[in-house]
Amino acid sequence: MKFAEPFEYRQVNAGGITINVAHAGSGRPLLLLHGYPQNHLMWHKVALELAGEFHVICCDLRGYGDSDKPDSDSEHLAYSKRQMAVDMVAVMGAFGHEQFSVVGHDRGARVAHRLCLDFPDRVDRACVMDIAPTLHMFEHTDQNFATGYYHWFFLIQPDGLPEHMIGLDPDYYLREKLRRWSAPGAEFDPGAVADYIRCFSAPETIHASCEDYRAAATVDLDHDRADRDAGRKVVCPLLVLWGKKGFVNRTYDVLSVWRDYGSNVQGKALECGHFLPEEAPEPVIDELRRFMTA
C-alpha cells in the first residue's frame, strides 16, 4: 500500500542514510512522524486532507518502514532521538524547509519532542500524540506502568532476546499491539496493516526497533536529564493530544505533566485509544488545522 496521488515518494539522503518519504501539497511545511510498530502509512486518513493546506511530509523513521536500518553500538547512539531528530532536519532541508511544524505519534512524538529541544529555531509549532515525556514515565515507574508498558522493559533486553521472540511470529505480535492499544471495536485499514507487517517482519526492522527502545532507556535519558538540569523546555507552541480510552489518559494528568516540559502547552483527550490518526482521524484533522493556523 502507498499513499494515493497527489502524494509522491522520494528517497532522501539524510547525512549518509536514506529516509523514505511521501509528500504532497505546497503550503506551509508540516512533518508527520509515525510510532511503533508502524510506518508513515499510519497517517493515511489524515495526510491527504492536510495536503490541501500544507506541504505534508511523511517519513519512515530510521529503523522503520522502508528507511535505512543503520548498525548500532553498545551505547545505542544510532537510534537516539537526537540522531533521529537530526535525520528529520536533513529531510526538511532537502525540501528547502529551514523552519517547519511537526506532528508526532508515539515514537515519532518522542522524536518531535527532541526536535523542539535541539532545534528550537527550526520548529515553529509541534504536536505530540498519546505520550508523556520519556523521562517522566521512567522516573515514575510503578507496577501499573510496568504492566501497561511491559514492552518498554521487554524490548530493551540484551543479546537478541526480544528480536528472537518477536521474530518467531511478527504478524501476531504486531496485530496484538494494534488490538491491545486501541479502543474496543477499533478498525484498521487492511492495506495499511499488511504494509506494517511487511516492513516489521524484516529481522533488521525488529532489531532496529529494539535499539530505538534501548536508546530510550539509556542515552535518551542522559539527554533528557541534561536538558532538565539546564532548564531547557519546549518553547514553541505545543499541542498535546491523547486517547481518552488509553493508558496515558488513565495514568497521567497529561497537560500538567507536559507543562513541566514546555512553556506554551495546550491540548485535550479525544474519543479513542492509542492510535489517534487511525481511530479518530476527523477530530485529529480538526485539532491540527485549528492549532497550525492559529
Q: Which long-range contacts (CB under 8 A, 24 or more apart) does 74-79 make?
A: 75/218, 75/219, 76/211, 76/214, 76/215, 76/218, 76/219, 77/215, 77/219, 78/211, 78/215, 79/208, 79/211, 79/212, 79/214, 79/215
Query: Out of 68, 106, 130, 227, which one is annotated catalytic?
Result: 106
Query: Out of 34, 76, 223, 274, which one is annotated catalytic?
Result: 274
Q: Dihedral sign, CA of 277, 217, 88, 4?
A: negative
- Do 38 and 183 touch, CB atoms closer than 8 A? no
Average pLDDT (143-159) is: 97
Could you write out the DSSP letters of every residue in 197-232?
Answer: HHHHTSHHHHHHHHHHHHHHTTHHHHHHHHHHHHT-
pLDDT tens-place string over residues 39-89: 999 999 999 999 999 999 999 999 999 999 999 999 999 999 999 999 999
Copy the grid coordinates of residue 55.
506541504
**Cβ neighbours, 10 Å, residue 27:** 14
Relative to beta strand 54-59, strand 18-24 is antiparallel
| Cα gap 23→11, rounded to integer Å | 11
Q: Name the phi and psi angles at 17, rounded to 5.
A: -120, 160
pLDDT tens-place string over residues 189-213: 999 999 999 999 999 999 999 999 9
Average pLDDT (132-137) is: 98
In this predicted structure, what is the pLDDT of residue 248?
98
Res. 115 pLDDT band, cuts 50 70 90: very high
274 is annotated as an active-site residue: yes
pLDDT tens-place string over residues 227-240: 999 999 999 999 99
**CATH code, 8-292:** 3.40.50.1820
In sequence order, which residues have a C-beta less than 8 Å from that of residue 13 and are 6 or more positions away? 90, 94
pTM score of the predicted model: 0.98
Average pLDDT (162-169) is: 98
In this predicted structure, what is the pLDDT of residue 54?
98
Q: Largest Cα–Cα distance of the chain, in whole Å?
A: 48
207 is annotated as an active-site residue: no
DSSP 73: -
In this predicted structure, what is the pLDDT of residue 294?
80
Indicate the average pLDDT of the chain.
Answer: 97
Per the listing, cell 485499514 goes with: 189
Percent of residues, the chain, with pLDDT higher than 70: 100
pLDDT tens-place string over residues 212-229: 999 999 999 999 999 999
